């Protein structure tokens, strides 16, 4: 396990920087393709131990605990081999016990193709007393148990119990006391050591989610609305007044257009709900009183971007601020003590961006994470009582000592004059690069955006000598309704126009050699890469698409047997635009080499979309290669697969560019 040397609070990197082709034996594809060496750090309630997940072979992972005592060594708790079980989040429920999410993909669940599933389990820190907390199916269960529920409240005043949602299936064991008609999402209090259960909220087939007050009391319930059995995108929220069991109407949220109030948390002491609501077309942070008056108050808004999340700390998930992303991720702190603490720590670390990853129950010990564009990140342990900050673990040990590129926020003009925000990454040591190979890297989603910070894909290509431009094209989220348009599928001509303009700008600025300009994307980004080559066969000289959407009608059809079919259909759209916007129907217009990657267990975009794209390109006489993996999903969370993908992509671009 790699640890940084620390003198006070000043980091001293002892390793020698390596870069690009001067790296000697440094294997860039393996180093950047590796999964994080540590992730999902959690601090025990007493502040004495840390749990974290470390990547293992394939999609496997190992849960470790590590005492904060001097000289302590990591201790393995349990492992998942990734075939198919994988470890997700793991958090302490007591000072000697953890609750973990185990997840995976079923190859052909109920004839519906690959489907995601999850379960919650509890385990002692020494690996003993493993218990499954999620409800279990049996021979008589009617339906598929995919979701394993989630922890609503960690009940810090209790020793090893949680309040969690659990999904119930009806049981047709007729004529037996074992049968049950319970169906839907409910809330149970569970002793994770013994599995003793107290039912708190009866299962409800319409229930979407529940929110507690951090004191073990359910205060808000979300109910999905439906039309003819299909989800219509409307969630109705109800609330309880303090010391009452009666539900009262709170608000409605339209998840299609974002209109309405979306409750995120409840403050027990203030008796309010925190949530997001639009102000002048952008999400802002509001509160609603839960006293019957439903008094609304604006806490924080931005004139340029959405406020998109809460900043919460502690075992009770205390709300201390709001988060948003302009050129970089920022926070507006509502808690003076947290603002002062992080300000002082950031100053001591030369202005490094910081966030609180976790804390002990009394918040006297904290895990602090710091990362940047050129630093994958390091975790610190902060003792608030002793005013001591100590370096703990680095997130990606294979990149320790590797000189990484800086990421510069830029604006470029689209062809209609609109200025588009983007991030430019140039090879380390080539900040004034001219006429070099370059890649436009559109993000996935499309309801997403890129942010300033470490990105393993763009950093790999920068290390290999490429300039990388990541555009937040119109259709991206985070900038409000006007920028989002109708989303990147329904408004694809505008989004693709912005992405093509990114390539034009690189050439006009003299950064990119026009003969060595490619485009690479993942998911929607892969769609954008292919569709850009359909619209304009001259700008990009090579296309790499990872798990791409290629056929918009097929994307809609993939949701046919699910309750969100109407929502997916509405999101993708209808009419001539979805045929004009499907690369698979216009493969003959793509005149440049294409490299495709896809996992057969992809539940986001069926592998058939890449297979059909490759067939159509071959029939049109194009140069195309399709690389597949039988056991991987949309995210390709396998270091060997990612290494292969990066190595093949680099070789493909160099061949296409004549390098």
| Candidate from 132-146, 272-286, 522-536, 581-595 with smallest mean pLDDT | 132-146
Close Cβ partners of 385 (under 8 Å, ≥ 6 residues apart): 364
Angle between helices 492-508 and 524-535 (to 10 degrees): 70
Model pLDDT, residue 109:
66
Percentage of the chain modeled with pLDDT above 90: 88
pLDDT in tens, 539-558: 999 999 999 999 999 999 99
More confident residue, 348 or 16: 348
Q: Quick one: average pLDDT of 324-350?
A: 95
For residues 247 and 575, give the distance between their C-alpha atoms in angstroms, rounded to a whole number. Answer: 43
Mean model confidence pLDDT for the chain: 93
pLDDT in tens, 221-257: 999 998 888 899 999 999 999 999 999 999 999 999 9
Chain centre to alpha carbon of residue 507: 32
- At the top level of CATH, the class of 407-656 is alpha beta
Burial annotation 167-189 (CB, 10 A radius, 16+ → b, else e): bbbbbeeeeeeeebebbbbbbbb
pLDDT band at 16 (very low <50, low <70, confident <90, very high): very low
pLDDT in tens, 357-370: 999 999 999 999 99
The residue among 450, 451, 454 whose CA lies nearest residue 462 is 454
| Candidate from 102-116, 164-178, 301-315, 583-597 with smallest mean pLDDT | 164-178
- DSSP per position, 93-113: EETTEEEEEEEEEESSGGGS-
Model pLDDT, residue 179:
53
How does DSSP classify residue 405?
P
Contact present, 511 and 504 (Cβ < 8 Å): no
Model pLDDT, residue 155:
97
Model pLDDT, residue 500:
98
Angle at 421 between CA 419 and CA 425, to 5 degrees: 130
Residue 68 has pLDDT above 70, yes or no: yes
How does DSSP classify residue 305?
S
The residue among 543, 350, 592, 333 whose CA lies nearest residue 441 is 543
pLDDT in tens, 484-499: 999 999 999 999 999 9
For residues 105 and 67, give the distance between their C-alpha atoms in angstroms, rounded to a whole number. Answer: 33
Residue 520 has pLDDT above 50, yes or no: yes
Residue 250 phi/psi, 5-degree rounding, is -110, -60
Model pLDDT, residue 139:
53
Model pLDDT, residue 143:
62
Q: Quick one: average pLDDT of 154-162?
A: 95
Give Cα separations from 520 to 430, 517, 523 (angstroms).
21, 10, 10
Which helix or strand (DSSP H or E) is residue 207 part of?
Answer: strand 207-212
Contact present, 474 and 500 (Cβ < 8 Å): no
Answer yes or no: same fold for 35-39+46-205 and 407-656.
Answer: no
Residue 507 has pLDDT above 70, yes or no: yes
Model pLDDT, residue 172:
62
- Could you tell me the pTM of the whole model? 0.94
Q: Quick one: average pLDDT of 12-31?
A: 56
Residue 372 phi/psi, 5-degree rounding, is -150, -170
pLDDT band at 12 (very low <50, low <70, confident <90, very high): very low
Chain centre to alpha carbon of residue 317: 20
Which helix or strand (DSSP H or E) is residue 506 part of?
Answer: helix 492-508
Q: Quick one: average pLDDT of 345-356?
A: 92
Residue 514 has pLDDT above 60, yes or no: yes
Q: Tokens representing 339? A: 């603002």
Contact present, 86 and 35 (Cβ < 8 Å): no
Q: Quick one: average pLDDT of 422-451?
A: 95
For residues 281 and 301, give the distance between their C-alpha atoms in angstroms, rounded to a whole number. Answer: 11
Residue 180 has pLDDT above 90, yes or no: no
For residues 134 and 480, give the distance between their C-alpha atoms in angstroms, rounded to a whole number. Answer: 38
- At the top level of CATH, the class of 35-39+46-205 is mainly beta
Model pLDDT, residue 456:
98
Which helix or strand (DSSP H or E) is residue 50 part of?
Answer: strand 49-55
Model pLDDT, residue 170:
81
Q: Tokens representing 2? A: 């790699």
Residue 404 has pLDDT above 80, yes or no: yes
The residue among 163, 176, 175, 173 whose CA lies nearest residue 219 is 163
Contact present, 86 and 58 (Cβ < 8 Å): no
Burial class for 214, CB neighbours closer than 10 Å (0-12, 13-18, 19+):
buried
Q: Tokens representing 224? A: 């999905």
Residue 638 has pLDDT above 90, yes or no: yes
Boundaries of every domain in the chain:
1-26+335-403, 35-39+46-205, 407-656
The residue among 433, 419, 430, 446 whose CA lies nearest residue 527 is 446
Model pLDDT, residue 578:
96
């Amino acid at each position: 396990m790699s640890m940084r040397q620390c003198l006070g609070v000043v980091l001293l990197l002892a390793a020698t920087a390596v870069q690009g082709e001067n790296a000697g034996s440094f294997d860039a594809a393996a180093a950047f393709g590796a999964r994080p060496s540590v992730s999902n750090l959690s601090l025990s309630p007493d502040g004495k131990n840390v749990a974290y997940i470390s990547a293992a072979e394939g999609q496997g992972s190992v849960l470790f605990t590590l005492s904060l005592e001097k000289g302590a060594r990591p201790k393995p708790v349990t492992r998942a081999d990734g075939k198919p079980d994988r470890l997700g989040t793991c958090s302490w429920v007591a000072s000697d016990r953890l609750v973990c999410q185990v997840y995976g993909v079923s190859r052909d669940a109920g004839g519906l193709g690959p489907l995601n599933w999850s379960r919650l389990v509890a385990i002692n820190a020494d690996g003993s007393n493993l218990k499954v907390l999620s409800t279990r199916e049996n021979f008589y269960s009617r339906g598929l148990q995919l979701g394993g529920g989630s922890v609503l409240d960690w009940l810090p005043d209790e020793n090893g119990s949680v309040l969690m949602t659990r999904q119930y299936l009806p049981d047709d064991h007729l004529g037996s006391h074992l049968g049950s008609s319970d169906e839907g999402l409910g809330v149970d209090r569970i002793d994770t050591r013994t599995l003793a259960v107290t039912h708190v909220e009866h299962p409800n087939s319409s229930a979407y989610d529940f929110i507690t007050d951090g004191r073990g009391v359910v205060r808000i319930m979300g109910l999905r609305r439906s039309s003819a059995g299909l989800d219509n995108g409307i969630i109705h929220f109800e609330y309880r007044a303090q010391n009452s069991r009666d539900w009262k109407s709170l608000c409605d949220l339209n998840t299609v257009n974002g209109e309405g109030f979306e409750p995120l948390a409840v403050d027990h002491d203030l008796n309010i709900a925190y949530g997001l609501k639009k102000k002048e077309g952008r999400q802002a942070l509001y509160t609603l009183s839960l006293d019957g008056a439903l008094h609304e108050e604006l806490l924080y808004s931005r004139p340029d971007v959405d406020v998109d999340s809460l900043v919460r700390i502690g075992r009770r998930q205390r709300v201390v601020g709001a988060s948003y992303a302009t050129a970089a991720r920022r926070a507006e702190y509502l808690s003076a003590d947290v603002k002062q603490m992080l300000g002082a720590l950031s100053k001591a670390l030369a202005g490094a961006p910081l966030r609180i990853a976790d804390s002990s129950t009394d918040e006297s010990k904290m895990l602090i994470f710091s990362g940047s564009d050129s630093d994958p990140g390091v975790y610190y342990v902060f003792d608030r009582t002793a005013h001591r900050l100590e370096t703990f673990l680095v997130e990606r040990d294979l990149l320790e000592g590797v000189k990484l590129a800086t990421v510069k926020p830029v604006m470029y003009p689209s062809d209609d004059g609109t200025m588009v925000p983007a991030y430019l990454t140039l090879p380390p040591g080539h900040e004034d690069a001219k006429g070099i190979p370059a890649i436009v890297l559109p993000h996935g989603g499309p309801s997403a955006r890129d942010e300033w910070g470490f990105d393993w894909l763009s950093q790999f290509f920068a290390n290999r000598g490429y300039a990388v431009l990541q555009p937040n094209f119109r259709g991206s989220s985070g900038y409000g309704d006007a920028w989002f348009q109708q989303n990147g599928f329904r408004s694809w001509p505008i989004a693709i126009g912005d992405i093509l303009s990114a390539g034009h700008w690189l050439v006009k600025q003299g950064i990119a050699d026009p003969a060595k300009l490619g485009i690479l994307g993942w998911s929607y980004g892969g769609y954008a890469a292919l569709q850009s080559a359909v619209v304009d066969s001259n700008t990009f000289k090579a296309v790499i698409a990872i798990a791409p959407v290629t056929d918009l009608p097929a994307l809609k059809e993939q949701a046919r047997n699910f309750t969100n079919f109407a929502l997916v259909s509405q999101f993708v759209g209808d009419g001539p635009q979805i045929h004009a916007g499907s690369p698979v129907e216009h493969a003959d217009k793509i005149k440049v080499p294409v490299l495709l990657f896809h996992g057969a267990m992809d539940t986001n975009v069926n592998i058939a979309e890449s297979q059909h794209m490759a067939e159509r390109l071959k029939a049109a006489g194009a140069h195309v290669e399709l690389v597949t993996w039988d056991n991987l999903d949309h995210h390709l969370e396998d270091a060997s697969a990612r290494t292969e993908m990066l190595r093949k992509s680099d070789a493909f671009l160099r061949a296409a560019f004549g390098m």
